[in-house]
């Protein structure tokens, strides 16, 4: 868990257990929970879990007497806020009432994280305020779609000799409304790339700027694998280039 948290950029998190109960040296932050939540909702099937209001499950060992248990979603946000679609409530005496909430309007999805509320009602009302502010003041600018090519790379002594560099995920930038015209992207490839190259290997970056100020960087990966060319392949390639 700590290794994955580090990969996601969660710099203020350290896990000691898997249940979130208070224990020494077990901590996180609202920002880190937002990063984790953003990664979680990339898995589209989770939305079915988050948006189920009531359901039942069977409790007990299979083949023996089982009882049916009714469950009700503790995230009232999905009932009270238009477009709400997640994510998770939490509570301990130390942390107070907490909520990682999400909502979608149009092509914009926002995540709000509230920690340390004194009452359950307060965490929902504060989340609604943050969501209202976000949707009123920000918009999403699409930079890339998953699998979209951003140029090609020519490889020496490789088969194939040219491969596309693509975005491994959908990329959007959040900007204040009316400011999206200043957004632009620049593609930068690594200086030295040699075969063999594996599919999804990082080969460069998309650098996003707003009015010449760098906002963020996203990786570009190889769309396919490329192996070292054999002597015969290189010889045939040389003959073809000679014919031209």
Residue 233 pLDDT: 73
Cα distances from 178 to residues 97, 132, 141, 172, in angstroms, run: 36, 17, 11, 16
Residue 231: per-residue pLDDT: 75
Element (H, E) at 80: helix 77-80
In the chain, list all ranges with CATH 3.40.710.10.
Answer: 2-50+74-141
Mind listing the pLDDT tens digit for each residue in 100-112? Answer: 999 999 989 999 9
Question: What pLDDT is recorded for position 243?
Answer: 54
| Cα 193 from Cα 107, distance rounded (Å) | 36
In the chain, CATH 2.60.410.10 covers 145-243
pLDDT tens digits, 69-91: 999 999 999 999 999 999 999 99
At residue 244, the pLDDT reads: 52
Q: Is the peptide bond before 173 cis (omega within 30 degrees of 0)?
A: no
Q: For residue 235, what pLDDT is reported?
A: 63
Which residues of the chain, if any, have pLDDT below 70? Answer: 235, 237, 242-244
Q: Provide CATH code, domain 2-50+74-141.
A: 3.40.710.10
Architecture of domain 145-243: Sandwich (2.60)
């Amino acid at each position: 868990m700590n290794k994955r948290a580090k990969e996601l950029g969660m710099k203020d998190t350290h896990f000691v257990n898997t249940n979130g109960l208070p224990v020494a040296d077990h901590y996180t932050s609202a920002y880190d929970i937002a990063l984790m939540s953003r990664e979680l909702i990339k898995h589209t099937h989770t939305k079915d879990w988050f948006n189920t209001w009531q359901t039942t499950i069977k409790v007990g060992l299979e083949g023996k007497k089982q009882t049916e248990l009714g469950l009700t979603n503790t995230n009232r946000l999905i009932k009270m806020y238009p477009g709400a679609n997640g994510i998770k409530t939490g509570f301990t005496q130390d942390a107070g009432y907490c909520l990682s909430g999400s909502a979608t309007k149009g092509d914009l999805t926002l995540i709000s994280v509230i920690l340390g509320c004194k009452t359950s009602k307060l965490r929902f009302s504060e989340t609604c305020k943050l969501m209202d502010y976000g949707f009123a003041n920000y918009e999403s600018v699409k930079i890339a779609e998953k699998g979209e090519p951003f140029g090609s790379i020519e490889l020496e002594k490789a088969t194939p000799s040219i491969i596309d560099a693509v975005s491994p995920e959908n990329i959007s930038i959040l900007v204040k409304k009316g400011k999206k015209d200043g957004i632009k992207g620049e593609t930068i490839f690594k200086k030295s790339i040699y075969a063999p190259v594996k599919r999804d290997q990082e080969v460069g970056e998309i650098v996003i700027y707003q009015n010449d100020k760098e906002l963020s960087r996203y990786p570009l990966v190889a769309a396919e694998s490329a192996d070292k060319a054999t002597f015969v392949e290189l010889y045939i390639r040389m003959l073809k280039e000679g014919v031209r």
